[in-house]
Chains A and B, each alone.
Chain A
Amino acid sequence: MKDKLTKEEVLHVANLARIKISDEELEKYRVELKQLLDEVEKINDVEGYDEERMIAPWSDNTTLREDKSSDMLDPKEVIKNAPKHSGNYIEVPVVIGESEGA
């Protein structure tokens, strides 16, 4: 079993998290991230783990909400927590060209 992630693996994770890391950090994360993953892997040792996966601690039906509206936020409140705004819009650095989400 290897004790380090590859450089590419760490850079891939950094890219997904949209963070830049230095060469020094890269080496550190190769070890630390591997240790974290190994800890999580231990779950596989639990007996019966693969047999029946549960996504919630109980298997009851989720409670559905009636389709009725309730109070909403004042747009002034919404933009208060944004670093920048333009009228009622929240303003962020230009993101065109990057990979789109949904």
Chain B
Amino acid sequence: MSNYIPTIGVEVHVELKTNTKIFSPSVNGYGQMANSLTNVIDLGYPGTLPTLNEEVINLAIKACKVLNCKIRREMHFDRKNYFYPDNPKNYQITQFETPIGYDGYVEIEVNGKTKKIEIEEMHIEEDTCKSTHRKDKTLLDFNRAGVPLIEIVTKPCMESSEEAKLYLEKLKELLFYSDISDCKMEEGSMRADANVSIRKNESDPYGTKVEIKNIGSISNVGLSIEKEIKRQEKLYESGKSFKEQTRRYDDKLGDTVLMRVKETGNDYRYFPEPDIPYVYITDEMISNVEKTIPMLPDERRSKYIDLGVSPFKANKLVNNRSLSDYFNTLLDSNINFDIASNLLLGDISGYLNKEEKVITDTTLTKERFIDLVNNIDNNNLSSRNLKDILSKVLESNSSIEEIIKTSGIKNITDDSKIREVIVSIINNNPDSVNDYKAGKDRAIKYLMGQVMKETKGSVNPKMANEILLEELNK
């Protein structure tokens, strides 16, 4: 058990899903030929002027709303000055004095308790060009220069790597669901830095802060924080101190590596960007954005659970946006939602993954899906038989009844017929019956297998199981 209390804050950069860049009409795209998505503004040519993209403001307002931030109604941009080849203007346009969002929060579940992760501020800025460092040269691709970003900064309010991971997962889910960003950490559209310090007691001042930069995945955020806490503990325990510094996580090494020791405060000489006058956020802008916010993941989960879907399955549905959107269209219908969620997550997902499709690519309209669920609910169709007709269900427009009829499937729902089959199986398997009576549960499985074999899977398993137990216990 560690003697130290970790303090963790997280900064996340998220690329916004716009058509064009923040200050220029160049395309905002990924994976294109190097330097093919640029114009003179992105390249920082003298005499060019930035024009602020309306959609960036809308998406930033949306992010404020889903992250429960207050919205600053009067704001401006600032210049952050530095010399580095990733930004030929020698300044980055960002928000220093008047970040658009502040005092927000995200709720996470830690050990069954809800914890609020407080968001200090959220600001808008431009991304820099992408530099690739080779041994003897650095290569620059300006396709990323000017891509709109929001940076979301938490207070130092997390106490474990687990909390940091849960926060990032929640943040990603919220921003993805509200179409603010595609949040792909592997493509760099979501990038996380973590600030880590440790101290002995709550009453002590914070320990020396170490920033871990550009961590490439949520799981690595967890690993790097754990490693960093251990490293700091070791130093303090051996009586050493260290300077504020920036480190990065080395995946191969499985540890953090020093990048640089922080010099006496970064001298970015911020000043207001004179090329972009004030931006005023009106009530109308906010209410227009609010209309575009879809039902968010937490609300979806609790709605599904209220309708009888298990928490595990509700979560699985929410993890698949297209299935969850589809499920949402059914919420006001009167069906067995447990069966509906089983179908979507089971056979239908299997088919969609195999065919590399999403559910809206299939012919399964809401009405046909409801029919399908009801047919299973009424024992007209067993899940075993569904497999045989699945392609017809998803690729044709025939009614579910017609597909069942023409496929020659007849589910045995007649109690007496099932009983007849079961009695004969019991009579033919006296050993298994004795095993069952001796308390061997495996015998039941074997007998059920015989029932399914005999009826070619055309009985409702639940019904057959009940009758089997009845007959065995006679």
User: Which residues does A use to contact B, with CB under 8 Å?
Assistant: 12, 16-18, 55-56, 58-73, 75, 78-79, 84, 86-102
Contacts and interface: CB of A to CB of B under 8 A. Distances in A.
Interface in B275-307: 276-280
B134 interface: yes
B34 A87 contact: yes
A72 B136 contact: no
Contacts of B226: none
B58 to A, nearest CB: 9
A95 B138 contact: yes
Interface of B: 18-20, 25-27, 33-40, 43, 51-55, 57, 76, 80-87, 92, 94, 125, 127-128, 131-142, 213, 259-260, 266-267, 269, 272-274, 276-280
Nearest to B141: A89
Contact of B39 (A66, A67, A72, A89): A72
B277 A58 contact: yes
A55 B125 CA distance: 18
A70 B25 contact: yes
19 contacts: A16-B81, A55-B272, A56-B278, A65-B25, A66-B54, A68-B20, A69-B19, A73-B35, A73-B43, A75-B33, A78-B38, A79-B35, A88-B34, A92-B137, A92-B140, A95-B85, A95-B138, A97-B260, A100-B259
Contact of B51 (A58, A63, A71, A102): A63
A58 B278 CA distance: 9
B139 A90 contact: yes
A91 B137 CA distance: 7
Contacts of A94: 133-138
Contacts of B36: 72, 75, 88
B137 A62 contact: no
A12 B83 contact: no
Given A62-B276, A91-B137, A69 B26 contact: yes
A75 B43 CA distance: 12
B138 A93 contact: yes
B52 A95 contact: no
B321 to A, nearest CB: 22
B84 A75 contact: no
Contacts of B87: 101-102
Contacts of B142: 78, 90
A8 to B, nearest CB: 11
A56 to B, nearest CB: 4
Given A68-B25, A79-B35, A92-B138, 17 more contacts: A16-B82, A16-B269, A55-B272, A55-B274, A56-B276, A59-B277, A60-B278, A61-B277, A61-B278, A65-B52, A69-B25, A73-B38, A88-B34, A94-B136, A96-B138, A102-B92, A102-B94
A46 B280 CA distance: 28
A102 B86 contact: yes
B272 A101 contact: no
Contacts of B81: 16
Contacts of B82: 16, 99, 101
A64 B278 CA distance: 11
Contacts of B25: 65, 68-70
Given A89-B139, A94-B133, A101 B280 contact: no
A90 B38 CA distance: 13
A56 B27 contact: no
B92, B125, B138, B260, most chain A CB atoms within 10 A: B138
B139 A86 contact: yes
For the complex of A and B, the 6 pairs showing the least CB-CB separation, nearest first, are A55-B272, A67-B55, A56-B277, A64-B54, A89-B139, A101-B84
Given A61-B277, A90-B142, A95-B138, A101 B128 contact: yes
A56 B139 contact: no
Contacts of A98: 84
A95 B131 contact: yes
B141 A59 contact: no
Contacts of B266: 99
